[in-house]
Structure 1
Amino acid sequence: MTFDLQFFSQERTEPATPRKRRKEREEGRVAKSQDLGAAAVILVGLFALLVFGRFLFSRILAFTTDMIAFMGGNTLREDGWFSVIRDETMYALVVPWLPIGLAAAVGALIVTVSQVGFFITAKPLAPKMDRFNPVSGLKKVLSLRSLVEMVKGLLKAALFALVIYFSLRKDTPELVHAIRFPLEAGVSQLLWKLLGLSFRLAFLLLVIAVFDYAYQKWEFERSIKMSKQELKEEYKQMEGDPQIKSKIRQKQRELARNRMMSSVPKADVVITNPTHLAVALEYDRKVMDAPVVCAKGSGFLARKIREVAEENSVPVVENKPLARSLFETLEVGEEVPEEFYRAVAEVLAFVYRIRTEKRPASPGGKREGPEEKDGQSPVFM
């Protein structure tokens, strides 16, 4: 019996990575509960209504009284009667509701941001062809999420019906008795009962919304889980394919090696051990405090450094301890440290002496001093 290990690698058992979460967020897929936003809007609106209720009730009562008096007179036969009704309606009904609407909007914004954070994306609004695919639509209708939403809707309807039933059963006698009150007192009594019922329904919706948000969070985390293969693919995308990275590093090494080899002809000396290591030193007293390693290498690269040095008449000096110490201590571009000054100065003095002996005598019959090389001395500052 054989097993396909790739089958098990596709099981989504791993938590989503930050990159996966960011992509889902950009697509507009986040864990949030619509009921939680609705409950916040209703509760904030009801509290605002509780604060501004008396003022609003008095404005509505005054508006109703004024309109009855306005309709009963001969004002409707005069010009401009419509503008009077419009202005009175705006001032008495629309303006007093603005603080309540503003408070509800702020509450909805706070709850939404607390659920998903503050992020704006237009990708969910972009047209997608799969939305017009009947097969995809049928899958969504028959999905577990649709079943859960249907059960949740039925549960909310049943709970709301129970709350309304028991509230009306309790308050009906008082509402019937309120008919005997004066109009203002009776309407006030009715509004208070309706406000209390609204608060009970809103708190019930809030409780349902909290459980709904917990479920949405769980369902969202489950839906964005990744398989081990997806984790590997994402790692390759973020870090790069190992083969490509290896080729890039190889190319970088080749470029660095070519730049280094181009510096060998400018070197003053190449110190070897004699076959395995090679270190090329350059020293210009005008711009350098000490000699600088312009190239180094071992094995094949050491042999190439020696070949380039010999082709360009750069002296090659064998000094096993110095070559090994410089190779292990310094990188290309670094200055020779003070503890090697004496050894390096002896090598450069030897090189300058050989160069001086090879130079023809000046017209005056005098050769340049052994320590000089283009007016320089192997004495480091």
Structure 2
Amino acid sequence: MRRPFSLQLFGQEKTEPATPQKRRKTREEGKTAKSQDLGAAVVILAGLVFMKVFAGYMGGGMKEHILFMLRAFGDPAFSGEGWARLLGARALADYLYLWLPLAAACALAALAITVYQVGFFMSSKPLELKLDRLNPLSGLKRIFSIRSLVELFKGLLKASLLMLLLYYALRKDLDRIIAVIRLPLDEGMETVAEIVWFLGLRFALLLLAIALFDYLYQRWEFERSIKMSKQEIKDEYKQMEGDPLIKRRIRQKQRELARGRMMQAVPKADVVITNPTMLAVALLYERKSMDSPQVVAKGQGVVARRIREIAAENDVPIVENRILARALYSQVEIGMEVPEELYRAVAEVLAFVYRLREGRKGVSARSVS
């Protein structure tokens, strides 16, 4: 038993890569392939590198800050009513002095990795309120989507690896951490900084490895999400180029208008050269304004017949010359002058027409007399 099956169902499947127009619109909406983990890993690495390069600067500043705070407990200047303001001002100054350069380095790293992933583009559309986000059904779809499951698995993986990393790092350096309380301030700070730095470096490299896979997944997921169906591509083409039916009607109307203007020029022509039935070319030659005769109308079939009818109605001579008619029709466009290689053939036809006109004038003069 046969059943009708519509092939249009395949046209709705999103199997085609996104067009440049679709990519541009998606980008304007703020939707791009971006990995948050990659940005976090790069920022952490940038901060660690900055701390390693400027370890002396930051270590010395932190030591001075700690010593100042310890000395403040016995300083009479901090025993009055304004002690909180003085300590707060000093703490703020030390914070800006020590940590503001680090924050600037991390901010530059975040900006660089963001520009690398999505390019330099700003859009306010992601900040716009969308009512469909308040729909509980849409929220459930997002929660139980493949993307949410991947993010959940990725979060559990990062948490598990971080816990393992902390466990092995603390078990290895536990004795050094306990011994810090017995060391002088300089050595204790150096030991703590070294332990924290290596622990942070391991975590950053681990996060970077996960982020690279996440970045590849985000790009794959983004390309999959913006795929288009064949029907969508057709609709986009119609919007960009216009409906083919409308364009066809516009071209038809333009041809009709051009044909109307062309037919208006036929009565002014000096001669119409025919094939004799399939082609017709009307020529006009004004000695004062033209270097050579000009084609003012041409056509084949029905148009050629109409040109001959208008010429006959307005006493425009019609001359049959098959070879010249074909040459003029194929080589010369309307409004163009006759090329040099056709001068002689056209001149012979015009000379014949002019003699014919002179003969008519002579006959008319004798008949009047």
TM-score, normalised to structure 2, is 0.90
1:195 paired to 2:176: no
Please tell me whether the aligned partners of residues 44 and 106 of structure 2 are also in contact (alpha carbons under 8 angstroms): yes
Q: 1:281 aligns with which of 283, 288, 291?
A: 283
Equivalent residue for 2:34?
32
Partner of 1:287, secondary structure, is: coil
1:210 CA displacement? 0.6
Partner of 1:229, secondary structure, is: helix
1:266 CA displacement? 2.9
Equivalent residue for 2:118?
116
Please tell me whether the aligned partners of residues 59 and 93 of structure 1 are also in contact (alpha carbons under 8 angstroms): no
Residues 69, 360 of structure 1: CA spacing in aligned structure 2 closer, same or farther, 3 A cutoff? farther
TM-score, normalised to structure 1, is 0.88
Q: Distance in 2 between matches of 1:311 and 1:100?
A: 93
Equivalent residue for 2:271?
269
Please tell me whether the aligned partners of residues 78 and 86 of structure 2 are also in contact (alpha carbons under 8 angstroms): no
Equivalent residue for 2:229?
227
1:138 CA displacement? 1.2
Partner of 1:289, secondary structure, is: coil
1:249 CA displacement? 1.8
Amino acid at match of 2:329: F
Equivalent residue for 2:353?
351
Partner of 1:13, secondary structure, is: strand
21-30 vs 208-217, which moves further: 21-30
Please tell me whether the aligned partners of residues 276 and 321 of structure 2 are also in contact (alpha carbons under 8 angstroms): yes
Q: Distance in 1 between matches of 2:275 and 2:197?
A: 96
Q: 2:149 aligns with which of 147, 154, 159?
A: 147
154-163 vs 48-57, which moves further: 48-57
Please tell me whether the aligned partners of residues 296 and 332 of structure 1 are also in contact (alpha carbons under 8 angstroms): yes
Q: Counterparts of 1:202-281 in structure 2 under 5 Å?
A: 202-281=204-283
Q: Distance in 2 between matches of 1:80 and 1:314?
A: 112
Cα-to-partner distance string for 1:284-339 (whole Å, 9 max, x where unaligned): 23332211111101111112212223333433222222112211222112221112
Q: Distance in 2 between matches of 1:178 and 1:114?
A: 42
Query: Any stretches of 5+ residues in structure 1 without a counterpart?
Result: 362-381
Amino acid at match of 1:337: P
Runs of 4 or more above 6 Å deviation: none
246-255 vs 157-166, which moves further: 246-255
Residues 258, 80 of structure 1: CA spacing in aligned structure 2 closer, same or farther, 3 A cutoff? farther
1:25 CA displacement? 1.6
284-293 vs 166-175, which moves further: 284-293
Q: Distance in 2 between matches of 1:188 and 1:91?
A: 23
Q: Distance in 2 between matches of 1:351 and 1:236?
A: 52
Q: Distance in 1 between matches of 2:322 and 2:73?
A: 117
Q: 1:73 aligns with which of 59, 75, 90?
A: 75
Equivalent residue for 2:304?
302
Partner of 2:319, secondary structure, is: strand
Residues 285, 84 of structure 1: CA spacing in aligned structure 2 closer, same or farther, 3 A cutoff? farther
Amino acid at match of 2:97: V
235-244 vs 35-44, which moves further: 235-244
1:10 paired to 2:24: no
How many residue pairs get aligned? The number is: 362
Partner of 2:296, secondary structure, is: strand
1:133 paired to 2:122: no
Equivalent residue for 1:88?
90
Residues 78, 175 of structure 1: CA spacing in aligned structure 2 closer, same or farther, 3 A cutoff? closer
Give the % identical residues.
57
Query: Any stretches of 5+ residues in structure 2 without a counterpart?
Result: 364-369
Please tell me whether the aligned partners of residues 26 and 121 of structure 1 are also in contact (alpha carbons under 8 angstroms): yes
Equivalent residue for 1:171?
173
Q: Distance in 1 between matches of 2:104 and 2:289?
A: 72
